[in-house]
C-alpha cells in the first residue's frame, strides 16, 4: 500500500500568506533600490561636472539612467502586483473550502476586506509615481544645467528620457488595475 501524504489547506494558506508578505517586502525594496540609483546618478552627474582642465563627459548616457531606473521600477511593481493578485486569488479559494467564508471573516473573499487592502496598497503606487516623476525632473534638470552644450548636441536623449519617464509614471498609476478583486459568490 502506497503512503499518500498531502499538505492540508491551512498550511497552504499560511505559505501563500507568507509569500504575499514577501512580495510586499520586495515592492518596498524596489523603491529603496530606485532611490539609491537616482541619488547615485545625481552624484555622478555632479561629480563628473566638466571643468576647464577635463574633457567632456558623456552626460547623455548618465541622463538615460534615470528613465531606465524608472521603467525597471514600473516593471517590478507590475510583477509584484500580479504575484500578489495570483496568491490572494489562491487564498480566496482556500477560504471558500467547506463554505468557511460564510461563517468566518475572510480577508481574500469578502470585497470589503480586499478593497481596503487594495486602497492601502494604492499609496505605495502613488509614492512610486511621485518618486519617479520627482527623480526624473531633478535628474533631467540637473543634467540640462550642468551639461547644456553636451545635451544640446543630443536633444533626442532628453526627449527620450522625458517620454520614458511619462510612460513609467503612467504605468505605476495603472498597476492597481491588476489588483486582486474577489470573485462574485456563486448564487
Q: Give the tens place of pLDDT for each residue, 84-97.
A: 999 999 999 999 89
Q: What is the mean pLDDT of the chain?
A: 88
Q: Residue 52 burial (CB < 10 Å; 0-12/13-18/19+)?
A: exposed
User: Confidence class of residue 187 from pLDDT cuts 50, 70 and 90?
Assistant: very low
Q: What is the pTM of this model?
A: 0.86
Q: Give the tens place of pLDDT for each residue, 110-143.
A: 888 888 888 888 999 999 999 999 999 999 999 9
Among 76, 90, 85, 177, residue whose Cα is nearest residue 128:
76
Q: Where are the domains of the chain?
A: 11-48+57-176
Amino acid at each position: 500500500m502506497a503512503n499518500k501524504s498531502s499538505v492540508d489547506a491551512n498550511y497552504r494558506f499560511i505559505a501563500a500568506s507568507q509569500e504575499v508578505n514577501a512580495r510586499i517586502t520586495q515592492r518596498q525594496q524596489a523603491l529603496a533600490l530606485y532611490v539609491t540609483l537616482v541619488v547615485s546618478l545625481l552624484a555622478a552627474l555632479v561629480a563628473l561636472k566638466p571643468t576647464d582642465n577635463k574633457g567632456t563627459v558623456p552626460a547623455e548616457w548618465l541622463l538615460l539612467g534615470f528613465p531606465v531606473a524608472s521603467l525597471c521600477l514600473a516593471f517590478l511593481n507590475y510583477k509584484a502586483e500580479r504575484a500578489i493578485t495570483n496568491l490572494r486569488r489562491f487564498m480566496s479559494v482556500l477560504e471558500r473550502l467547506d463554505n468557511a467564508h460564510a461563517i468566518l471573516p475572510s480577508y481574500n473573499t469578502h470585497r470589503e476586506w480586499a478593497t481596503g487592502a487594495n486602497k492601502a496598497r494604492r499609496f505605495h503606487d502613488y509614492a512610486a509615481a511621485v518618486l519617479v516623476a520627482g527623480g526624473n525632473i531633478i535628474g533631467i534638470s540637473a543634467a540640462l544645467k550642468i551639461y547644456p552644450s553636451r545635451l544640446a548636441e543630443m536633444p533626442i536623449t532628453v526627449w527620450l528620457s522625458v517620454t520614458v519617464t511619462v510612460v513609467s509614471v503612467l504605468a505605476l498609476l495603472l498597476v492597481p488595475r491588476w489588483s486582486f478583486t474577489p470573485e462574485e459568490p456563486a448564487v
